[in-house]
A and B are shown apart, each in its own frame.
Chain A
Amino acid sequence: MTPVRVSIVGAIASVLLILVVLELVRGRRLKERYALLWLATGVVLLVLSIWRDGLNTIAGWAGVTSYPPAVLFAVATLFILLVLLHYSTVISKLTDENVDLAQRVALLEERVSRLRSPAD
């Protein structure tokens, strides 16, 4: 069985995560689309912290018998991996768009300087 104190600490940490994310979105320092995965992380961890029977059941499915809170860590790790993977795709897209912009700048600058000196 999950120790009560683990559940309390887990719940507090989850609520803190949700609050921090909401505050960042409110202050426009985090875009909604990038906040969603973090909020999902917080909510899932909060639910698993409060719903103690649920955590024990899932631990049973996963074959974790000695220490059910380990499932909490596993779920948290899984979500962090998801967030990181998501960021990697975002970075890749930004990189492509960046290169595209750099190429356009180079092409446009050349065109501008050509138009400015029509001598040749």
Chain B
Amino acid sequence: MNNARRLVAIVPAWNESGAIGGVVDEIKQFDPSIDVVVIDDCSRDDTADVAESRGATVLRLPFNVGIGGAVQTGIRYARDEGYEIAVRLDGDGQHAASELPKILAPVEAGDADLVIGSRFVEAGGAYRPPLARRIGIGVFAQLVSILGGQRVTDTTSGFVALDRAGIELFATQFPHDYPEVEATLVALRSGLRVKQVQVDMRERVAGASSITFFRSLYYIVKVMLALLVASLRRYPRLERASR
């Protein structure tokens, strides 16, 4: 692929030794020029070693900081190492590397700073989550759409691509737990150009989803509060260098 482009794949992982090897392999097979960075959020298993043995750069957090803090570590790496574009894929294997071109295209074309791989842009997509989760995703999407002034359909997706402006914003501002919804609103309010594209996602390859019943209660309340507060905050509008 394009040599001038420096592209990094950020993969947060926590106790994903069963899936992480396949995730790294898949990205590298898809495009060997992508640098893969796995952020090991202090796993109890050998996630970090497995990722390293497959050729990924591994950032080892000294203690568990939560998914948002882990993702931000990768984004800070992308900022410090001067990457032009970063993509985020989950360490559990639910995001297929073959779907990457869909979220990369708008960023590479300079049309967007943040591209969210959404499961619901087009009606009748293959993905049908349980009713409760569908309602939750819908409510958050509606809220972010209203507060952010742009219609978004899937704010909980962790399959995203960022350009340099997005990398720099999230390197300094990123929620530490359950970050996706709030981060989308922060991006919109900071003046990032946000785009959504339809993608397909897989079921988990191994491990268990981190979202249990009581956690989802906390999730809902925390995200609601975060959205409310984020909409009361002032965000410095992004100064965009002319391209």
A interface residue numbers (CB < 8 A to B): 95-96, 99, 102-103, 105-107, 109-110
15 A-B residue contacts at CB 8 Å?
A99-B69, A99-B176, A102-B61, A102-B65, A102-B69, A103-B61, A103-B65, A103-B69, A103-B73, A103-B76, A106-B62, A107-B76, A109-B59, A110-B57, A110-B60
Contact B65 A99 (CB under 8 A): yes
| Residues on A with beta carbons closer than 8 Å to the beta carbon of B76 | 103, 107
What residue of chain B has the Cβ atom nearest to residue A101's Cβ?
A: B62
Q: Is chain A's binding surface mostly helix, strand, loop or mixed?
A: helix
Task: Give which listed residue, A102, A105, A107, contacts B80 with CB less than 8 A.
Answer: A107
A106 to B62, CA, bound (A): 7
Return B218 CB to nearest CB of chain A, in Å.
Answer: 16
| Residues on B with beta carbons closer than 8 Å to the beta carbon of A99 | 65, 69, 176
A99 to B65, CA, bound (A): 6
Question: Which residues of B in the span 57-101 have a Cβ within 8 Å of any Cβ on A?
Answer: 57-63, 65, 69, 72-73, 76-77, 80
| Residues on A with beta carbons closer than 8 Å to the beta carbon of B57 | 110
What residue of chain B has the Cβ atom nearest to residue A110's Cβ?
A: B59
Task: Give which listed residue, A95, A96, A106, contacts B73 with CB less than 8 A.
Answer: A106
Q: Classify chain B: how many residues form its interface, as a range.
A: 10 to 19
Q: A106-B39, A110-B57, A110-B59 are in contact. List 5 more A-B contacts (CB 8 A).
A: A96-B176, A99-B65, A103-B76, A106-B62, A109-B60
A102 to B42, CA, bound (A): 10
Interface string of B38-64 (1 = CB under 8 A from A): 010000000000000000011111110
A96 to B72, CA, bound (A): 12
Contact B58 A102 (CB under 8 A): no
Return A48 CB to nearest CB of chain B, in Å.
Answer: 36
Return A92 CB to nearest CB of chain B, in Å.
Answer: 11
Q: Which of A95, A102, A106, A109 has its CB near the most chain B CB atoms (within 10 A)? A: A106
Given the known A-B contacts A99-B69, A110-B57, are A105 and B77 also in contact in the complex, defined by CB atoms under 8 Å? no
Return B73 CB to nearest CB of chain A, in Å.
Answer: 4
| Residues on B with beta carbons closer than 8 Å to the beta carbon of A107 | 59, 73, 76-77, 80
Contact B62 A102 (CB under 8 A): yes
Q: Which of A95, A99, A109 has its CB near the most chain B CB atoms (within 10 A)? A: A99
A95 to B176, CA, bound (A): 10
Return A68 CB to nearest CB of chain B, in Å.
Answer: 39
Task: Give which listed residue, A102, A109, A110, contacts B63 with CB less than 8 A.
Answer: A102
| Residues on A with beta carbons closer than 8 Å to the beta carbon of B176 | 95-96, 99
Return A103 CB to nearest CB of chain B, in Å.
Answer: 4
A107 to B58, CA, bound (A): 9
What residue of chain B has the Cβ atom nearest to residue A106's Cβ?
A: B59
A92 to B123, CA, bound (A): 41
A99 to B67, CA, bound (A): 12
| Residues on A with beta carbons closer than 8 Å to the beta carbon of B65 | 99, 102-103
Return B173 CB to nearest CB of chain A, in Å.
Answer: 11
Return A25 CB to nearest CB of chain B, in Å.
Answer: 31
A110 to B73, CA, bound (A): 12
Return A32 CB to nearest CB of chain B, in Å.
Answer: 30
A103 to B73, CA, bound (A): 5
| Residues on B with beta carbons closer than 8 Å to the beta carbon of A96 | 176
